[in-house]
Every structure is written in structure tokens, then in C-alpha cells.
Amino acid sequence: MEPSIDKVAWLFPGQGSQQVGMGQDLSEKSAAARELFEKADAILQRPLSEICFRGPEELLRQTINTQPAILTVSLACLTAARERGDLADMPSFVAGHSLGEYTAAVASGALSFEDGLLLVQERGRLMQAAGEENPGTMIAVLGLDEAAARELCSASGAQVCNVNAPGQVVVGGDLDAVARATEMARSYGARRVVPLSVSGAFHTNLMHPAVTGMTTALAGTAFRDPQVPIVANGTGMPVADAATLRKELSYQLTHAVLWQQSVEHMLTSGVTSFVEFGPGQVLSGLVKRMAPAAVIRNVGEDELLQDGS
């Protein structure tokens, strides 16, 4: 019998993992990371690195800044890990949560860093504008499975935004619909409802004003077939060609992030190790809930700055 091969997946976080100061220490220690931040500033023609390193927080939290900032910091962690020589060449799969899907596309070779950065800046601009045009919000509903959450949404007028893990679903919509969902959640079996600090109802039809602009931006960007499959937010299934990836990145604006299904697909495909790159450990925590035996590694600044590791 041939020995089993350990399959690895790389994960990239989405909006919500940002914090002022992220990337600063890493850029001082890693020449590769510093070069990436300098390149990001030159591409965007503005000091994105200063917003990451020194804020202020209100500026970093603006969607147009948050999205390119998280993409850059996540890829800086990947670049620094490669510089250190402790990563395999490529994983079996890559996946990212919402914005992180663009980071995954860059990591897979489907997008250049420049194109990925410009796309997420435009995505952030369009989503921020859509949130202003169609005010909405989001809540995390804990203790409900996806079916019960969809029943809650049907009754309240809200929509499922993220299926993150068993018992953790995010719903969103206009302010009245989310207020109704909040009031009704316990009657559908929810254990707890947590309001989220967001500037809009992402991954719902309230983001529809962003679709045309984003579709145009994606159509004008050079894509290549990814070197490894990208497990798509919109379907929880792998994407292996440029044309499908373009459609997915447009589709996910107004449809739920099926993170639970994405992780389940990777697990059933033989993935036993997950590596999360970037700020925070949200995705690692979600994977741990679904696969307690999985090997999980966080490649963020804390790990990368440890001497001799």
C-alpha cells in the first residue's frame, strides 16, 4: 500500500480581521514583506501601508481601505513564509472568505498582485457605495443550522449572508428585516444573536448596485487558470479555470459565502492540514469546529516574528 499523502489547503481571511498596526513589525523584519507593502503603495498611488501601520482606525475600517489592506497583509505573510523557506511550493486547494477569495486567486496564480489589489480596491469602493445607497446590516445567528436560518430569513425578510460552520450563520438585509430577524431568532432555536459592525448587508441583494461595476472591472482584468483549485464561496466547489473564476467573483457579491460547504469539500477531498495566512484566526477556528483532528497552522505576524521558528 502506498503511503497517504498529506493534503494541505491555504486559507485567506476576509473583512473584519483588520486592526491598526497589522503588518508593521513584519515589514520591518522581512525584506519580502516590506517590498510587497511598497509595491502596494505604488500600485494604488496612496499610502496604504501607513493606513495599515498607523491608522487611524476610522480610516482603516472604510471598506475601500480595509479590503486592499487585508489582501496585502495576508499576502505579505505568505511572502514572508516563503522567504523563510518553510512552506511547500503549492497546496492542494486554496480558499478565502469573501474578500479572501481574491487573495486566494492571487496566491493560486490566477491574478497578479497588482490586478488583485486594484480589483479589491474597486470592490471596496462599490460595496461602500452600495451600502450607502441601500442601508443594511448583518447579524451572526448562533445555534441555528442553515435550514433553520433560511426559514428565519423567509419569515423576516432577511437573507443568509454566510454559512460559516454548523450552528454559525450570518444573516443580513435592510434595517427593518434584520430587526425582525433579531426578534424572531430565538423562536427558531437560536441560542444567541450578535450584531456585526459593518457598513452594509454584504452578500445580499442590497449589494446589487455594485454588480455592474464589478463585472466590468473583472472583464477588463487578465485572469489565468489557477495553478491549484480555488474552492468557491458561491458553491463550495472547486474552480479550476479563469472564466468560471470571473463569474464567481461577481456572483459572490450578492450571494451567501458557503464557507461550511467549502471546508467540507476540502475535507472529503482528503485535506488534513489547513494553513491560514494573515491577520486573525477566524477561519482556523471555524475549521477546528468542523474538523477537530485537522492540523491547523496560523501564519500571521506572531508566528513569523518568532526567532528561530
Cis, peptide link before residue 56, omega less than 30° from 0? yes
DSSP track, 35-66: HHHHHHHHHHTS-HHHHHHH--HHHHTSHHHH
In the chain the beta strands, taken as DSSP E runs, fall at 7-12, 93-96, 136-142, 159-165, 168-174, 192-195, 230-231, 238-239, 271-277, 295-299
Distance CA 14, CA 262 (A): 15
Which are the catalytic amino acids? 98, 203
Distance CA 122, CA 213 (A): 8
CA distances (Å), 41 to each of 65, 102, 124, 131, in order? 12, 18, 17, 26
Nearest by Cα to 236 from 171, 302, 157, 146: 146
Angle (CA) 260-263-268 rounded to 5° is 120
Q: CB of 300 within 8 A of CB of 81?
A: no
Nearest by Cα to 29 from 309, 217, 306, 258: 306
Distance CA 23, CA 42 (A): 17
Distance CA 147, CA 299 (A): 34
